[in-house]
Structure 1
Amino acid sequence: MPEGDTVWRTAHRLDQALGGKPLLTLELRWGELGGRELLPAATLSVASRGKHLLHRLDTGLTVHSHLKLEGSWRIERTATLPPALLHHPDLRALARCATWSALGLRLGLLEIWPTRQEEARLGYLGPDLLGEDWSTERAVSRLQADRPRPIGAALLDQRNLAGIGTFWASEGLHLARLSPWAPVAEFDRATLEHLLTSIRQVMQQAAQTGIQNSTGFTARGRTSYVHGRSGRPCRRCGQPVRVAAIGEGTRRRTMFYCPACQGGRAPTDDGRPQQPLGAARPSATRRRR
């Protein structure tokens, strides 16, 4: 799922393309929203809040979208917009002004709200690591109120702080040498402040560059220490990186970590050998030999 830095960058690009401009088209292909007349309208701004996108109109409405796992917003020049894109089966939203067009593809959520309701609808979110509302003090307080939970699960809970996903949680905890499964109660305030500050710094860089990396290297395959590297050597100690589940129920996620650097194996890790992601598994015939 795209994380806060990707969503921030998407909002920034949409705002540059559409902000302050009258819309020629605003079409939402989503359930009961399909066919709803939203024009005349102009874009006031497009902003992000954690993993949420808010397209605010001068009519007092906000078009709220969430990318979920597969969604994206694509920007094309209106004059050269390929006609085939207008009939693409994955197109769920279309916003066009005279110069630029924005196409929402495979969006995971699309809604319309009165803009005045934004805070009421998204007020459950914690401080946004890349937003104007960021407060390290408030974010740490929310984490400390979640004392029994594993720190990895608490970081991923958008009610504590908004914008972190499995990439930044895995990388941030590895950089700090903290076990994702250790309860929040084990860490003092200074440790949590340092953790959030370091994660925020690398997220800010990624938001500006468009390259999600924590290592300082942007080449493919070198952008992370542990995320996506199960079965491969830890870049710090050389021992195998592993992946295991964290959280419960619908909040269950995957977490990459190094047992040697981060305090041992996860309680949800069965200890079986893990192949690198994308590696071909042995065929049934080969396994029987």
Structure 2
Amino acid sequence: MPEGDTVYLVGKRVDQALAGKTLLRGEFRVPQLATVDLAGREVLGVGTVGKHLFTRFSGELTLHSHLMMDGMWDVNARGARWHRPAHHARVILTAADVEVIGFRVHDLKLVATPKEHDLVAHLGPDLLDPQWTEEHAARAAAALAADPARELGLALLDQRVMAGVGNLYKCEIAFLLGVTPWTPVSEVDAARTVALARKLLVTNAASGRFTQSTTGHLDRKRKNWVYERTRQGCFRCGGKVLVGTQGHDVRRRPTWFCPKDQAGPYPPE
């Protein structure tokens, strides 16, 4: 599932392509919305909350979508060849000069714009909220610390704690804190953890790039500390990076860590 900064950048790209333009075509290829036609509506803008996208139209109408594991919004010049199979298209939004296609996007819902919040009311504070305040930080820290025995990695992925962290940032945040993702939440500073998570997401979102770096380097082999570094080794010490699994069922994720630089429990190899 994409990280929150990836979703933010997707939303920004779609907003730049469509905001202020009137749709010539607004077609859905999902059963529940198949009869809806958005042609003639102006696109007012696109916003994100955590990993949720909201495309807003005139007439106080909003389209909600989620990328999940395989969704993507593609921006093309009008009439250009699509980069993905047509049978994967679920939304087609066409203006005079541009066409935006939602491929394999999920949780599609049309709601009254004033009701948007109902779809994300269960989420914790959005780490990329432009109106972020100390109150947001305190809420997220309190939610993180609320279950002291919970594994840190599982708590970080819980969007009800704070919205935006995915598996990459989960691994990297734990590394930067010096603990394994299986460490109980009680053994970390909750406020520091929230501040670190926000710093990483804000920095990468501000870069405008879809490739995240947690080390400050852009080279593919140097951009992360431990995430997907089983071959290269730990970027800090050069030692062996191990990978285990964390979570169960659909929440099960591969989890990278350095046993030398990270203290705490981890599964046997």
Runs of at least 5 residues in structure 1 that lack an aligned partner in the other structure: 272-289
Indicate the SS of the match to 1:136.
Answer: helix
User: Contact 1:129–1:161 (CA<8 Å) still a contact in 2?
Assistant: yes
Distance 2:69 2:83 in 1: 21
Contact (CA 8 Å) 1:259, 1:265: kept in 2 or not? no
Corresponding residue of 2:234? 234
Q: Aligned pair count?
A: 264
Shift of the alpha carbon at 1:87? 7.2
Residue number in structure 2 paired with 1:99: 97
Q: Structure 1 86/22 Cα, relative in aligned 2: closer, same or farther at 3 Å?
A: farther
1-structure distance, mates of 2:163, 2:213: 19
SS at match of 1:104: strand
Structure 1 residues 146, 31: CA separation in 2 closer, same or farther (over 3 Å shift)? farther
User: Which residue identity is paired with 2:107?
Assistant: L
Alpha-carbon distance in 2 for matches of 1:229, 1:201: 22
Match of 1:164 in 2: 165
Question: How far off is 1:244 after superposition?
Answer: 1.5
Give unpaired runs (5+ residues) of structure 2: none
- The Cα shift of 1:94 comes to 0.9
Going from structure 1 to structure 2, the CA distance change for 1:61 and 1:204 (only over 3 Å counts) comes to same
Q: What residue is the counterpart of 2:62 in the other structure?
A: 62
- TM-score, normalising length: structure 2: 0.91
- Report how far residue 238 of structure 1 moved: 2.1
Change (3 A) 1:160 1:264: closer
Amino acid at match of 1:215: T
What amino acid does structure 1 have at the position aligned with 2:152? I
% of aligned pairs identical?
36
**Would the aligned equivalents of 1:69 and 1:108 in 2 still touch at CA under 8 Å?**
no
Local SS of the residue matching 1:146? coil
Provide the rounded CA distance (Å) in 2 between the counterparts of 1:8 and 1:55. Answer: 12
Pairing 1:116-131 to 2, within 5 Å after superposition: 116-131=114-129
* TM-superposed deviation, 1:257: 0.9
- Aligned residue identity for 1:207: A
The RMSD of aligned alpha carbons is: 1.9
2:26 is equivalent to residue 33 of structure 1:
no
For residues 256 and 106 of structure 2, the distance between their equivalents in structure 1, rounded to whole angstroms, comes to: 25
Q: Does 1:111 align with 2:109?
A: yes
Which moved further from structure 2: 151-160 or 246-255? 246-255
Deviation per residue, 1:155-195 (Å, 9 max, x gap) = 100000000001111111101212211111223xxx22222
Q: Give the conservation status (yes or no) of the 8 Å contact 2:183–2:264.
A: no
Runs of 4+ in structure 1 off by over 6 angstroms are none
Q: Bigger shift: 170-179 or 149-158?
A: 170-179
**2:183–2:265: 8 Å Cα contact kept in structure 1?**
no
d(CA) in 2 for partners of 1:230, 1:177: 18
Match of 1:203 in 2: 201
149-158 or 241-250: bigger deviation: 241-250
**Higher Rg:** 1
